[in-house]
Each structure stands twice: as structure tokens, then as C-alpha cells.
């Protein structure tokens, strides 16, 4: 039984077309997965920047208006050089990694007074910005809202603690138990 030469060529072309279609489908799936991972990484970085800013505000290390705007890029070698207690490789002798300059992050911080004396609602939003300082369209962002007791400053810029006030209502402010001593409990 002899095959015609045209039939073999047709089989090869069909096999090649099937291979190309399968390859294109796999490339599409892989590129979508990579894009999903990039967006997840960006969401995590945005959350990290927002949490970091909120922690600095809570601890009284920074005021909301000083953190509002672009986030300066982190440089490990500058931090080690500034830390006098750092023991390790001399920063001048260490190999300097090259970092690709990616679009930076920016923070948008808003404060609102609340009905609770001494507490302020702080909203921190972290998002990516391009080289001209505008937010990337469709880029992930993260918003964190929290009640914070902000530190007050006097005219010299010296920090004062916030006015003490009644704590916000909630489970932590319930009055102590009125159960008489000696009843119930373990022996």
C-alpha cells in the first residue's frame, strides 16, 4: 500500500499547525500568569508601604503631612553606612548591586477628626507613579484606615503627647465584673 506524497505533506502541515496553536495557547496562559504575579507583587508592596507609613504615624516618628507624596527608594547600603553599630562587610568593599529604576510609589494620606476625643481617623493610600509623578492607570493600590492618637506639637516643633480622653467604646472598656468575691471559680 503506497501513500501519495501530497498526503504526507498534508499530515506534516496539520501537525505543524497543531503545534503552533498549542504553543500560542501556552504562551498566552504563561503571560497571563506572569501579569497576575506582577499585580500581586504590586499589591503586596503597596500594602507594605501603607502599613509602614501607618506604623510611623502611630509611633509618632512622622506626621501625616510629612509622609504624603512620593516614597523615597530604599537603599540598603545607605542604611548600613548610617548605622554606626553595623558590623559586617565594609560598604565600600561590598559589591554594589545594580537596581533597575522602576516607577516609584506614592502615598496619599488623609486625616479626619472623629467623635472620640484624642483619636483621628488616618487613611493611607499607596499607589505606583510614573516618571512624571502621575498614578499608573489600572495599577493596584492599597488603602489602610485606622484610628490613631496623633501627637501634638508646640510652636517650637517639640512633640507633645495627645490629650488624654476617654477610650473608645468597645469590649476593652466594659466595667469590671460585679460578681461578689468567693462565689464561683476554682478551689
User: Does residue 53 fall inside a structural domain?
Assistant: yes
Task: Give the count of domains, the chain.
Answer: 1
Provide the 10 A C-beta neighbour count for residue 159: 12
User: Does residue 66 fall inside a structural domain?
Assistant: yes
pTM for this prediction:
0.59
User: Does residue 138 fall inside a structural domain?
Assistant: yes
Count the alpha carbons within 13 Å of 144 in the hemisphere toward its beta carbon: 20
Describe the chain by its helix, strand, coil percentages, rounded to 5.
Answer: 35, 20, 45
User: Does residue 169 fall inside a structural domain?
Assistant: no
The position carrying cell 503627647 is 161
User: Does residue 81 fall inside a structural domain?
Assistant: no
User: Does residue 95 fall inside a structural domain?
Assistant: no
User: Does residue 63 fall inside a structural domain?
Assistant: yes
**pLDDT by residue for the chain (187 residues), tens digit each?**
566 777 888 999 999 999 999 999 999 999 999 999 999 999 999 999 999 999 999 998 989 988 888 888 776 555 555 555 545 555 555 445 444 455 589 999 999 999 998 899 999 999 988 877 788 887 888 999 999 998 765 444 444 444 444 544 544 444 445 555 555 444 4
User: Does residue 112 fall inside a structural domain?
Assistant: yes
Amino acid at each position: 500500500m503506497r501513500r501519495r506524497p501530497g498526503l504526507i505533506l498534508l499530515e506534516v502541515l496539520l501537525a505543524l499547525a497543531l503545534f503552533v496553536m498549542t504553543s500560542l495557547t501556552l504562551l498566552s496562559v504563561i503571560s497571563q500568569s506572569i501579569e497576575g504575579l506582577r499585580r500581586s507583587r504590586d499589591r503586596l508592596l503597596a500594602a507594605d508601604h501603607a502599613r509602614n507609613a501607618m506604623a510611623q504615624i502611630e509611633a509618632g516618628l512622622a506626621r501625616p503631612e510629612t509622609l504624603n507624596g512620593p516614597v523615597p527608594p530604599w537603599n540598603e547600603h545607605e542604611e548600613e553606612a548610617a548605622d554606626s553599630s553595623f558590623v559586617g562587610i565594609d560598604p565600600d568593599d561590598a559589591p554594589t548591586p545594580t537596581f533597575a529604576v522602576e516607577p516609584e510609589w506614592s502615598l496619599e494620606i488623609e486625616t479626619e477628626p472623629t467623635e472620640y476625643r484624642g483619636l483621628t481617623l488616618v487613611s493611607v493610600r499607596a499607589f505606583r507613579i510614573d516618571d512624571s509623578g502621575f498614578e499608573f492607570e489600572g495599577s493596584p493600590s492599597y488603602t489602610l484606615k485606622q484610628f490613631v492618637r496623633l501627637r501634638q506639637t508646640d510652636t517650637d516643633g517639640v512633640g507633645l503627647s495627645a490629650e488624654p480622653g476617654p477610650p473608645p467604646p468597645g469590649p476593652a472598656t466594659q466595667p469590671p465584673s460585679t460578681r461578689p468575691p468567693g462565689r464561683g471559680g476554682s478551689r
